[in-house]
Amino acid sequence: MIVKTKNYKLDKKVYIRLAFRRVMRNQGWIAAAIAFLLCLGYIWVPSIWWFIGAFAGLGLYMLFWWVQFYGVTQLDQGKILFEKFSYEISSQQIIMKKNPREGMPLKWDQIKSATIGKDYFVLFINKAQLIHLPFRIFNTDNERKFLASVLKTKGLVKSA
């Protein structure tokens, strides 16, 4: 089965939100652990500055990643993420099509992981690249179910 979607353009705010949430979910525990360890400095030298430093560091860590993803939206190399594409999805590959004659194939082994939200699919290629597929771009409910089954079969998303 080949699923053909409607044209879709990824919004820059949606990209920043999804990518930032993904990094915080995967790496946020590191920053939280470091902030906690800094707060333990209070045991040796009681001072409020341990807590201020810990939360300032945590805020700077989060700001660093937000700036990284915001920067992707401004660079010429990142412009391709925000162009209008239609997708042809099969169990072998995904073809991202600009128009009926121009397309870029993407094999399933290039996808690192996927997430199924309440009204979208997100396919993560790496930390900075993702494919956002809202349910509204699919023509039928069966096409969405097919993509969900392919994602589960490929081991990209955990079965619910």
Region of 37 (left: φ > 0; alpha: ψ -120 to 50; beta: rest) is alpha
Is there a contact between 134 and 147 (Cβ–Cβ < 8 Å)? no
Mean pLDDT of 153-157: 88
119 burial type by CB count under 10 A (0-12 exposed, 13-18 middle, 19+ buried): exposed
In the predicted model, is pLDDT for residue 28 greater than 90?
no
Mean pLDDT of 143-155: 91
In the predicted model, is pLDDT for residue 97 greater than 70?
yes
CA 9-23-88 angle, 5° bins: 35
In 75-140, which ranges are continuous DSSP H helix? none
Q: What is the pTM of this model?
A: 0.84
* Residue ranges of E strands in 37-141: 84-89, 93-97, 103-107, 113-116, 120-124, 130-134
pLDDT band at 160 (very low <50, low <70, confident <90, very high): very low
CA distance 29 to 142: 37
94 burial type by CB count under 10 A (0-12 exposed, 13-18 middle, 19+ buried): buried
pLDDT at 62: 93
